[in-house]
Amino acid sequence: MHRCSPTHKLASIAVTTWILATVGCGSSEDPASPDQEAVVTVAEARGLAEGSVATVEGVVTVAPGTFNSATGDQGFALQDTTGGIYVSLPDTVDLDLDRRVRVTGTLGQTAEQTVLNTEAASVEALDGTAPVEPRDVTTGEVGESIEGLLVRVSGSVTRAPVDEQPYGFEVYIDDGSGEVQVYVHIVDGQPVIDMESLTVDQVIQVTGLAAQYEETYEVAPRQAGDLVVQ
């Protein structure tokens, strides 16, 4: 499967606008503000209708801009105890992996993947860090039910890697439960994991975001350490 250009693939970023309600004459109550937006779990946010506004808190599992080569945005992923989601935004923000963060945005779909569309001003870094342990899943389990989570899969390489630069590389692995695509993005001109050493029948372990591009579910590694040859 070939990626389309970022301008075609990336859905328009929805910018949330809060309209202050007019307060009745003589009332001392202040109108609602974005800071008062109730925080919901990631699972609750993912269940909302497209176009709904939600505020979530979680831990950064994919650093901002890591997937830019294919998405064309500066987004990142976050996760709480109920689920994970990709946060799409046009401008980069300074967030490290494992940083706690609060985000308000609009639920949408990008290439059939559920995303939270936002802007930098609606992303707030919180105190503290909380490393996320990837969920071990079979290659056949990668699908809608775990989309947005940090996962770990192992399997044999079933096809030679396909070069889709400038978007990335794709390779498929299978542990016997079903093939899954591993999509390797380009960062600073290089794939985030070493593609030259991969050969058919080689057994590898990959950690990455359980993601979706159109009808294909995939695991997207974030950095060199996300690939382990077994």
Q: Mapped to the 3 state alphabet, what secondary structure does the chain carry?
A: CCCCCHHHHCCCCCCCCCCCCCCCCCCCCCCCCHHHCCEECHHHHHCCCCCCEEEEEEEEEECCCCCHHHHCCCCEEEECCCCEEEEECCCCCCCCCCEEEEEEEEEEEECCEEEEECCHHHEEEEEEECCCCCEECCHHHCCHHHCCCEEEEEEEECCCCEECCCCEEEEEEECCCCEEEEEEEEECCEECCCCCCCCCCCEEEEEEEEEEECCEEEEECCCHHHEEEC
Last residue of one domain, picked from the residues 129, 157, 177: 129
- What integer is the mean pLDDT of 63-85? 98
Which pLDDT band, with edges at 50, 70 and 90, does 22 fall under?
A: very low
Residues of the domain holding 111: 6-129
Q: Does 90 lie in the same domain as 18?
A: yes
Q: Residue 200 falls within a domain, yes or no?
A: yes
Q: Does 106 lie in the same domain as 70?
A: yes
Is the pLDDT score of 20 beyond 80?
no
Q: Residue 206 falls within a domain, yes or no?
A: yes
Number of domains in the chain: 2
Q: Does 208 lie in the same domain as 179?
A: yes
Check residue 37 and give its pLDDT. 74
> Which pTM value belongs to this model?
0.84
Last residue of one domain, picked from the residues 70, 95, 129: 129
- What integer is the mean pLDDT of 199-209? 98
CATH at 140 = 2.40.50.140
Check residue 7 and give its pLDDT. 40
Last residue of one domain, picked from the residues 74, 95, 129: 129
Q: Residue 1 falls within a domain, yes or no?
A: no
Which pLDDT band, with edges at 50, 70 and 90, does 36 fall under?
A: low
